[in-house]
Amino acid sequence: MFSYFSWNVGSALGILFSSILPSIVSKSLGVSLYAMFIGLLVPNMKKSIRLLYVVGLTMLVNWGLNQFLSSSLSILISTFGCALIGMCFISRKDLQ
């Protein structure tokens, strides 16, 4: 419940303050979101070689799709598709 509440409060604050922030700061916040996800992913990749393979597969699929589709669509397809593949090959005990 706390995570849900925090997400909503953060979204509301983002909506309120996005018009006040300079454009350079707004663009920088987009990059920080990617950095946050990388920060969550890297420690788990150190624990599981299978996760490392799924991340590598996701990068390759994204690169291939990016040759034919828009970057946002290729990211969505590669992430969700390879996440489904990862669900079949990675168990919870691999990540602990």
pLDDT at 96 over 60: no
Report the C-alpha gap between 92 and 90 in whole angstroms. Answer: 7
Whole-number pLDDT of residue 92: 60
Q: How confident is the model at residue 61 (pLDDT cuts 50, 70, 90)?
A: very high
Residue-wise pLDDT tens digits, 10-31: 888 878 877 787 878 777 777 8
Contact 95, 47 (CB under 8 A): yes
- Residues 3-19 as b or e (16 or more Cβ within 10 Å = b): eeeeeeeeeeeeeeeee
| pTM metric for this prediction | 0.59
How large is the average pLDDT for residues 40-64?
85
Report the C-alpha gap between 35 and 29 in whole angstroms. Answer: 10
